[in-house]
Amino acid sequence: MFGYDGTPAPFFIPDHTHTHTHTHTHTAQAQFTCPLTCFSQIKAIKEGSVIRQDSSADTADRRPQRPRLARRNIMDTVWWIAPFALPAVLFALCSLYLLRNPQVLHRRKHLAFSSRHVSHRGGAGERIENTMEAFTHAVEAGTEMLELDCHLTLDGYVMVSHDKNLERQTGHDVPISSLKLQDLPLYRKKLEVTFYVGHYSTGQDRKFALLEDVFKTFPEMPINIEVKENNDLLIKKVSSLVKKYGRESITVWATEDSDIMAKCRKQGPAMPYSFTMRRGILLLVLFYTGLLPFVPLGESLLQFYLPSVINRTYIPEESILKKRFVVYLMEKLTMRKSLFDHLVKRGMQVQLFVCNEESDMDAAFSVGATGVMSDYPTLLSEYLKKHPVPPAM
């Protein structure tokens, strides 16, 4: 009925002559009609199946290709991110490695001293602060560094005094710069310890000390000098005294103000110096961006609050530090052992202040401090005897 190509084959009707013409004609028509009917039915079925197949294909094409499109979108995203992600990953890995191994890029600093025990204001909790009696007592108690502040008198003497105005220390509301040396009043008989609220110190010596007398009396003792006022003459005179007594390597410049520090370094470039407030903030930015391991640092000491003492043993004057959240944030951002360990490996010393209880001393050393400032040199010495220097330090 059908050829090999699917088309209907020719149909031939035999030409026979019968006596029954009508019957023969009817039969011939039936024989002729059946093949055509079959052909039509088969063709319809065939076309119908094609139509159904085409319909199924169209339906399949119209189905949402979600998995395939999702995979394609993911791949497109990966190829777009890859050029940026690979350098970022490499940077992060290099930064982490150099944070732990800074000696690869930086030469280790070698200071002439190492001070775990630092007496704040000469040990302001056990003797009147910044007096010769306080300094002597701290040295006898085993301190390894004296911390003090300086101001100028009217006649140009460099005096050891924390405050510019003498009201808190003496009861006289007058700036130290307005008085001559011989006119300076005595300290109060009983003086509250600034970093241990409610506690007071007393002593036999109530006189203000000359910086030069401190240098003469303790020629080999490392001393940290904080310069609080932007006074060119004061900075010049302090630097001259340091040079006069040949103690550039064991006397540290300290100040919160970067402008003052620039002048200090200009006058005494051979002296080690600590981070200022601005430089300390920059240090944190470098640390959290991963850039710190790549940046050289000129400072030799990092000196900072132990935040946990704020609003507990120390009540700050700054209103912002009286907010609990600010102090909490400060502690979380600054007390990073990985940061301190990195600085120590670069040869710097990390000193936290002011720790007047053993729990605070524990907290400072556990976070990576190499030294602690305290108003109680005897207490700190006893603590250090019970907690000797770790082998890694």
The pLDDT of residue 389: 79
Overall average pLDDT of the 332-355 stretch: 98
Higher pLDDT, 263 or 8: 263
Q: Which amino acid is at 320?
A: I
Distances (CA, A) of 190 to 17, 49, 149, 199, 289: 153, 110, 20, 10, 48
Report the predicted TM-score, pTM, of the whole model to 2 decimal places: 0.80
Q: Take residue 96 and report the two structure tokens written for it.
A: 């982490």
Pairing of strands 158-160, 145-152: antiparallel
Overall average pLDDT of the 209-216 stretch: 98
Query: Distance between CA 132 and CA 210 in Å, rounded?
Result: 9
Query: Distance between CA 316 and CA 352 in Å, rounded?
Result: 16
Residue 56 burial (CB count, 10 A): 10
Residues whose CB is less than 8 angstroms from the CB of residue 224 and which lie 6 or more positions away in sequence, other chains included:
118, 145, 146, 147, 148, 251, 252, 254, 274, 301, 303
Q: Take residue 11 and report the two structure tokens written for it.
A: 């149909």
DSSP tag of 335: -
Residue closest to 128 by CA, chosen among 194, 191, 210? 191
Question: How big is the CA angle at 362 (ends 361 and 365), to the nearest 5 degrees?
Answer: 85
Confidence bin at 50 (pLDDT 50/70/90): very low
Residues whose CB is less than 8 angstroms from the CB of residue 226 and which lie 6 or more positions away in sequence, other chains included:
147, 148, 149, 150, 254, 255
Q: Take residue 280 and report the two structure tokens written for it.
A: 């300390």
Q: Take residue 232 and report the two structure tokens written for it.
A: 């060119």
Residues 250, 222: contact at Cβ < 8 Å?
A: yes
Residues 270, 250: contact at Cβ < 8 Å?
A: no
Q: Which amino acid is at 376?
A: Y
Higher pLDDT, 79 or 187: 187
Residues 222, 144: contact at Cβ < 8 Å?
A: yes
pLDDT, mean over the chain: 87
Distances (CA, A) of 126 to 191, 196, 324: 11, 12, 30
Distances (CA, A) of 94 to 170, 254, 282, 283, 297: 56, 33, 20, 18, 19
Higher pLDDT, 61 or 168: 168
Using one digit for the tens of pLDDT, what is the confidence trace for 231-267?
A: 999 999 999 999 999 999 999 999 999 999 999 999 9
Instruction: Report the percentage of the chain scoring pLDDT > 90.
Output: 75
Using one digit for the tens of pLDDT, what is the confidence trace for 268-302?
A: 999 999 999 999 999 999 999 999 999 999 999 99
Residue 214 φ/ψ, nearest 5 degrees: -65, -45
